[in-house]
Amino acid sequence: MARKERIGELDLIRAFAFLAVVYQHVIGVYIREPRLTEQVSIVYGMLFHLLKFAVPAFIFITGLVLFYNYSEKVNYISFMRKRITEILVPYGIWSVVYLYLMEKPLGEGAAFVWNVSKHFLTGTSSYHLWFVVMIFQFYLLYPFWQRVFELFRRFVTSRFRLVVALGVSGLVYGGLMWFSARYIPAHGFRFDMNWLDTYFIK
């Protein structure tokens, strides 16, 4: 694969996203202080929400770099080997460290195996590891997203079609956000199939 020109602007976005993540964590410590006045709590809350662009920025960078560097058909085996070595192995090591330091007991026998497996698969060995599990699914399904992107490019042959495609995508995304953030908590929604329920809700 030929080496492509570096996108310098991504370094700036990445730097701002890193700073936002650090600042969110700092605010997260002080916002729980019981002695804070209402005004200070409101300011902290506003800043915290203003800095929430960090995670979407990292996801955007990941997607952009992937499609930029792997625009042609990828060798899935070597592609995944690289991601497993660079992402999954360190994730596994740190998960073991966090599970070892965890105060909550993990159980014994089958319960221990189940709890450890659940923590590994859901990224809950520590509160920040969810991001690794979430982003790794994107790598795992990259050939599928590549095909979706190719179909999107073929469909968008005019400005009108671009507006239609973006509008439909926005409505679908808005519907999913409403369903997950509003409908499920209010109605206790459950899927009939256990694996769907586990993956999408639990």
- CA separation for the pair 97, 88 (Å, rounded): 14
**Is 151 within a domain?**
no
Q: Where residue 71 falls among pLDDT bands split at 50, 70, 90? A: confident
**Is 148 within a domain?**
no
**Is 146 within a domain?**
no
Q: Where residue 19 falls among pLDDT bands split at 50, 70, 90? A: very high
Q: What per-residue confidence (pLDDT) applies to 96?
A: 92
Residues 6+ apart with CB under 8 A from 106: 99, 112, 115, 116
pTM, entire model: 0.72
| pLDDT tens column, 156-200 | 889 999 999 999 999 999 998 898 888 888 877 777 777 777 766
Which of residues 105, 140, 175 is at a domain's end? Answer: 140
Residue numbers of the domain that contains 10: 1-69
Distances (CA, A) of 30 to 36, 51, 64, 128, 186: 9, 15, 34, 18, 30
> Could you tell me if 99 and 44 lie in one domain?
no
Which of residues 13, 40, 69 is at a domain's end? Answer: 69
Q: Where residue 98 falls among pLDDT bands split at 50, 70, 90? A: very high
Domain count, the chain: 3
